[in-house]
Amino acid sequence: MTEARANMMISVWRGMGSTGKFETFEVPAQDNQTVLDVVTWIQQAADPSLSYRYACRVGMCGSCAMMVNGQPRWTCRTHVKRVLRDNQIEIAPLRNLPVIKDLATDMDPFFDKWVKAGGVHRASRSRDMPIQEVKPDTAQRQAADNGIECINCAVCYAACDTVSSNRDYLGPAALQRAWTLFNDEKVVDKQAVLDAVSGSGGCHNCHTQGSCTKFCPNDLDPLGSIAGLKRETAKSFFRRGSKQC
Amino acid sequence: MLNARLYMAQRLSAMIMIPLVFGHLAVMIYAIQGGLTTAEILGRTKGSVTWFLFYGTFVAAVSVHAAIGVRVIIHETFSLKGKWLEATTWLIGALLLIMGARAVLEVTFA
Amino acid sequence: MIRPHRSHPLWLAYFLHRVSGLALALFLPFHFLLLSMVISQPQTADALLRFTDHLTVKLAEGGLVFLLAVHFFGGVRLLALEFLPWSGKRKTITAAAIAFAFFVSGSFVLRAV
């Protein structure tokens, strides 16, 4: 690390549940530091009671996402230089999730919806059967591959206004998972995948605001996945007639 | 608050309206030349089966489309759901359909 | 104010689509009401239509045509994004939709005034 320069003013959300306020800390600026480094500095050097969540620090585990200057970001891979404005940064817990304390949110609703959208693997073969051959270069496999890099960071979930205004909406990550399963040839019952995303909180509630794709830190395209689900459910609607839903 | 069936109704009514809105925009830009009078409107539409079908279909499609669209806005803005949301959707659709049908009948076959 | 997570073209297109759709839905009952007076109350209808000769009303009408055009081209954009696999060109399609809306409502206002 090079020598420290002027201090930055970092506003951090403090509070339990739905109440709280921003508290400002002076943090020494370094040449190379991420937003997560800044939060860690505050917790270690200024106020050990600050609660936040992280694990891997290298953009793999998906646990350190926060709102940085009003935009959802993975903090471990967000360089301070990219978000520092007038020597200030505002750091808050992820939107659209209940706050436990300070910067740590309760991720249960996010993962519950993941399960509700059919995100759990349903095996189509037993251990006694031969391993299924999956060709990597088919168009369908590539569509599935696009979504499997999701790290469950909930950045898309926090970015989406439809999630905020429609309590039942499954959200971009869960729907993208469903699209991945739909394109996975190991999943046999495609109709079950489509049915899981066709209810009152399903893919049809998406308004194509595109914030999910815009903010996804892994450059995935949940918006495109949801459009894919809309297309396939429309096809199945015509196949099965209006009795379907 | 859309399931697959409402979504399809919304998108299919939209697709039906693509040529109709195109026609309506063209008629508007053409018809307003030099002001608009009742005689002028009636001269064009009175007794015309074509205009009746054109605007009749338009009214039916827009009633479905607007009722579902406003339903979504009401749900997302006021969190209304369940039977009240259903009732509101049907009420908006029925109101637009009745008022629209009256208007179409008046300028074609009244 | 547009909050930071909303400041991008697709969100603005969504907002325009919602506002124009709501405004059109609110306008429709009045539109139908006027047309259903054409025979039963021709004087009232003509008086209302003459009211549309005023410049300010014409500009307001231009606004309505703009709303219809914006909702129409925005809707065609949505149908294309949902039903055709065009994920790469979303911003271009969105910009084209708004450009078309300005063109159509512009033509209306120019002919009306």
- The verdict on a CB contact (< 8 Å) between A71 and C4 is yes
The whole-angstrom distance between C76's CA and the closest CA on chain B is 8
Q: Which of residues 65-94 of B touch C (CB under 8 A)?
A: 66, 69-70, 73, 92
Output DSSP code: residue A131. Answer: P
Task: Report the domain count for chain B.
Answer: 1
How far apart (Å, rounded) are the C-alpha atoms in residues C42 and B42? 11
How far apart (Å, rounded) are the C-alpha atoms in residues A160 and A105? 16
- The verdict on a CB contact (< 8 Å) between B4 and A205 is no
Task: Tell whether C94 is covered by a domain.
Answer: yes
Residue C54: domain span: 12-112
Question: Domain of B44: which CATH number?
Answer: 1.20.1300
The CA distances from residue A99 to A13, A94, A95, B84, in Å, are 10, 8, 9, 31
- Domains of chain A and CATH, by start: 5-105 (3.10.20.30), 108-243 (1.10.1060.10)
Sheet strands (E) in A17-153: 21-29, 65-68, 71-74, 88-92, 99-101, 104-105
Question: Which of C82, C83, C84, C93 to probe the A interface (max A CBs under 10 A)?
Answer: C82
Task: Report the domain count for chain C.
Answer: 1
Chain C: residues touching A (Cβ < 8 Å) = 3-6, 8, 10-11, 13-14, 17-18, 78, 81-83, 85, 87, 90
Q: Which chain C residues are Cβ-neighbours of A208 within 8 angstroms?
A: 10, 13-14, 78, 81-82
The whole-angstrom distance between A127's CA and the closest CA on chain C is 37
Strands A5-14 and A21-29: antiparallel
- For residues B2 and A200, the answer to whether their CB atoms sit within 8 Å is yes
- The verdict on a CB contact (< 8 Å) between C36 and B106 is yes
Residue B17: domain span: 4-108
Q: Which chain C residues are Cβ-neighbours of A209 within 8 angstroms?
A: 6, 10-11, 14
- For residues C65 and B25, the answer to whether their CB atoms sit within 8 Å is yes
Task: Tell whether C38 is covered by a domain.
Answer: yes
Q: Both tokens of residue A60?
A: 């793999």
Q: What is the pLDDT of residue C113?
A: 64
> Each residue's pLDDT tens digit in chain A (245 positions)?
455 568 999 999 999 998 999 999 999 999 999 999 999 999 999 999 999 999 999 999 999 999 999 999 999 999 999 999 999 999 999 999 999 999 999 999 999 999 999 877 777 888 899 988 899 999 999 989 989 999 999 999 999 999 999 999 999 999 999 999 999 988 888 999 999 999 989 999 999 999 999 999 999 999 999 999 999 999 998 887 655 44
C36, C43, C44: which is closest to B109 by C-alpha?
A: C36
Q: Touching A: which chains, 3+ CB pairs < 8 A?
A: B, C
Question: Domain of C33: which CATH number?
Answer: 1.20.1300.10
Nearest Cβ partner of B4 from A167, A168, A244?
A244
Q: How far is CA C55 from the centre of its chain?
A: 19
DSSP calls for A109-169: HHHHHHHHTT-S---SS-TTSPPPP--TTSHHHHHHHHHHT-----HHHHH-HHHHH-TT-
3-class DSSP assignment, residue A193: helix
Nearest Cβ partner of B4 from A162, A165, A198?
A198
Give me the helices (H) in chain C, please. Answer: 9-35, 42-51, 55-83, 90-112
DSSP calls for A225-240: HHHHHHHHHHHHHHHH
Q: Both tokens of residue A129?
A: 């059967």
Task: Tell whether C7 is covered by a domain.
Answer: no
Nearest Cβ partner of C81 from A70, A95, A208?
A208
- The verdict on a CB contact (< 8 Å) between C50 and B28 is no
Output DSSP code: residue C53. Answer: T
Task: Tell whether C64 is covered by a domain.
Answer: yes
Q: Which of residues 44-103 of B touch A (CB under 8 A)?
A: 72, 75-77, 79
Q: What is the pLDDT of residue B35?
A: 66
pLDDT grade, residue C97 (50/70/90)?
confident
Residue type, B1: M
C28-66 residue pLDDT tens: 999 999 888 877 787 787 777 777 777 777 777 788 888
